[in-house]
Amino acid sequence: MQFYQGDIIKINDYKKQLFVVVSKNAFIRATGMFHVCPYIKDYPDGPVHIQAIGNHGTSGTVICEQIKAIDPSSRACSKTDYLSYKDIMNVSDTIQGIFEYD
């Protein structure tokens, strides 16, 4: 299964938790891995917590400071929805802002 930036996924080890793929597509193709952030329903937004709604209606908040690397070949992952390009940009900008220099 192919995964792309902005996909909302389930990881079998985390039965009730959803995640958003935040890695660039070029990184995913080059490494076969990707980074995810938790996507939590009914969580308040904030400077690094971005509310986003999937194209099929999945709603939640992306917790941008909790980035995890995932190897989908060693974990059972499945897509449930995907974010709009606007929401992908908001999440990516927030993550990039965490690591910018002062």
Name the residue ranges covered by the structural domains of the chain.
7-97
Instruction: Count CB-CB contacts under 10 A for residue 88.
Output: 20
CATH architecture of 7-97: Roll (2.30)
pLDDT in tens, 65-100: 999 999 998 989 999 999 999 999 999 999 999 998
Smallest CA-to-CA distance from 86 within 62, 56, 52, 40 is with: 52
Q: How far apart are CA 7 and CA 3, in angstroms?
A: 7
Q: What is the pTM for the complete model shown?
A: 0.94
pLDDT in tens, 41-74: 999 999 999 999 999 999 999 999 999 999 998 9
